Amino acid sequence: MKPDWESIRRAIIDGKPAVLVDNRREFEADLVYPAELANSEVVNFMLSMKGLLCLTIDLEQALKRGFFPLPSKGGETNFLIPVDYEETFTGITAEERALTARKIAEGLEVEHFRYPGHLHLLGGVGLNWRRGHTESSLELMEILGFKRYALIVEILNGEGDSHDHDYVLKFAKEHDLPVLTTDDVWREFVRRKQLVSVYANARLPTRYGEFRIISFENELDFKEHVAIVKEPYSEVPLVRIHSKCLTGDTLASLKCDCGSQLSNVLRMIAQEGGILLYMDQEGRGIGLKEKIKAYELQDKGLDTVQANEALGHKGDERTYEAAFQMLRALGVSKVRLITNNPTKARALEELGIEVVEMIPAPGEVTEHNRPYLRIKAEKLGHKLPFEV
């Protein structure tokens, strides 16, 4: 579900920082507040969280204005020299830190600050490059209509731990603070910023018919996905999102149904027009090396999901943001999706592409892939158009 951005914005203007939960990093949570609105009350409240109060700023912007990185070793956090605004006394009080934050958000150059000072600065490199609290806080500011500068501080519990989700939720409730996750911010980022564009578009005659193949400039997940397109297609085109399977697609493996699905779907699209997105997501996103390792475990009796999990992966690690942006780059906003996998349809819908219809993706059932297909239906929610 999408957060209610307008009510979050109103809460913030009311003086309530947002609780931003990093659901990919063990629920570590930060309070986030627009630097441009910083005041002593909010800063004082944020300081009581016991984490490190920092101001986040786009790294490029910070460097351009003369703020400079601290020497670093090992860490992946972009700390810049901490500063105090020139007209502060010591710079340590809540009021003075708020003033320093507002002055940075006003766009002042480094000349107007003393350093080292008391407000820590974190440089953000863009959410597509790094999915941390720093980058998420900057994107959140933009989504909410504030300048891209935020005050952030980790919430530590009574024992000083930063990964206590229950504590955070209880705290948020007590203080009536809006709560959202870094995934919420990521999805809204994907909806708002188009980072995939058509790079090349060439003729591709195949055994199934004459297609075009389209490659993309992709600054979203930086992978090499392609589209195979048969024109003309209808206003609500047939679309297939097919994840790469070297063994099935190329080597004619019978362990899965990928190869037969691919050829059947290319035939369907050749006939009626449509788009096949060929996604560089081998092994449901775990990569080829790991998929073969998972096959090793399946040879020993684990099923396809257990094998993934035994290797420390999720049963399915794919996401569909890049597919969504590829469709948008092609001007498609409604699809008839060829799939047996409702997760794909849900992912597109959530990002804003209407799935008008889900058309079964026909694959061949063999003695080798029957147990695999059964597990996909049982554990991964696949709706198979045939008995297995």
Would you list which residues are annotated within the binding site? 240-245, 256, 258, 261, 282-284, 304, 339, 344
Annotate the chain with three-state secondary structure.
Answer: CCCCHHHHHHHHHCCCCEEEEECCCCCEEEEEEEHHHCCHHHHHHHHCCECCCEEEEEHHHHHHCCCCECCCCCCCCCEEEEEEECCCCCCCCHHHHHHHHHHHHCCCCHHHEEEEEEEEEEEECCCCCCCCHHHHHHHHHHHCCCCCEEEEEEECCCCCCCCCHHHHHHHHHHCCCCEEEHHHHHHHHHHHCCCEEEEEEEEEEECCEEEEEEEEEECCCCCCCEEEEECCCCCCCEEEEEECCHHHHHCCCCCCCHHHHHHHHHHHHHHHCEEEEEECCHHHHCCHHHHHHHHHHHHCCCCHHHHHHHCCCCCCCCCCHHHHHHHHHCCCCEEEEECCCHHHHHHHHHHCCEEEEEECCCCCCCCCCHHHHHHHHHHCCCCCCCCC
- Identify residues 251-290 at the interface with Mg ion (CB under 5 A): 261
Among 42, 43, 143, 256, binds Zn ion (CB under 5 A): 256
Among 139, 341, 345, 351, binds ligand GTP (CB under 6 A): 341
Let me know: does 333 contact 325? Beta carbons within 8 Å.
no
Tokens of 172: 């948020």
Binding partner at 373 among Zn ion, Mg ion, ligand GTP, none, C-beta below 5 to 8 Å by kind: none
| # binding residues, ligand GTP (CB under 6 A) | 22
Annotated binding residues for Zn(2+), as ranges?
A: 245, 256, 258
d(Cα 47, Cα 38) in Å, to the nearest integer? 12
Nearest distance from C-beta of residue 312 to ligand GTP, angstroms: 12
49-88 footprint of Zn ion as x/- string (CB under 5 A): ----------------------------------------
Closer CB to ligand GTP, 1 or 252, in the complex: 252
Binding partner at 291 among ligand GTP, Zn ion, Mg ion, none, C-beta below 5 to 8 Å by kind: ligand GTP
Active site residue 14: no
Nearest distance from C-beta of residue 191 to ligand GTP, angstroms: 23
Closer CB to ligand GTP, 327 or 361, in the complex: 361
Contact residues for 125 (Cβ-Cβ < 8 A; gap 6+): 59, 78, 135
Binding partner at 172 among ligand GTP, Mg ion, Zn ion, none, C-beta below 5 to 8 Å by kind: none
Active site residue 316: yes
Q: Write down the catalytic residue from 30, 84, 316, 328.
A: 316
Closer CB to Zn ion, 248 or 274, in the complex: 248
- Identify residues 207-246 at the interface with Zn ion (CB under 5 A): 245
d(Cα 164, Cα 168) in Å, to the nearest integer? 6
- Identify residues 231-290 at the interface with ligand GTP (CB under 6 A): 242-245, 256, 258, 261, 281-284, 286
Amino acid occupying residue 340: N
Nearest distance from C-beta of residue 248 to Zn ion, angstroms: 3
Closer CB to Mg ion, 99 or 274, in the complex: 274
Among 308, 319, 323, 345, binds ligand GTP (CB under 6 A): 308
Closer CB to Zn ion, 256 or 353, in the complex: 256
Among 16, 103, 133, 240, binds Mg ion (CB under 5 A): 133
Annotated binding residues for GTP, as ranges?
A: 240-244, 261, 282-284, 304, 339, 344
Among 18, 49, 258, 332, binds Zn ion (CB under 5 A): 258
Binding partner at 118 among ligand GTP, Mg ion, Zn ion, none, C-beta below 5 to 8 Å by kind: none
Annotate 208-222 with three-state secondary structure.
Answer: CEEEEEEEEEECCCC
Q: Within 13 Å, how many C-alpha atoms sit on residue 332's CB side?
A: 30
The 10 Å CB-count burial string (b at 16+, else e) for 260-270 is bbbbbbbebbb
Nearest distance from C-beta of residue 374 to Zn ion, angstroms: 15
Binding partner at 294 among Zn ion, ligand GTP, Mg ion, none, C-beta below 5 to 8 Å by kind: ligand GTP
Q: Write down the catalytic residue from 164, 318, 328, 370.
A: 318
| # binding residues, Zn ion (CB under 5 A) | 4
Footprint of ligand GTP (CB under 6 A)? 242-245, 256, 258, 261, 281-284, 286, 291, 294, 304, 308, 339-341, 344, 361, 382
List interacting residues with Mg ion (CB under 5 A).
133, 261
Among all residues, which ones are annotated catalytic? 316, 318
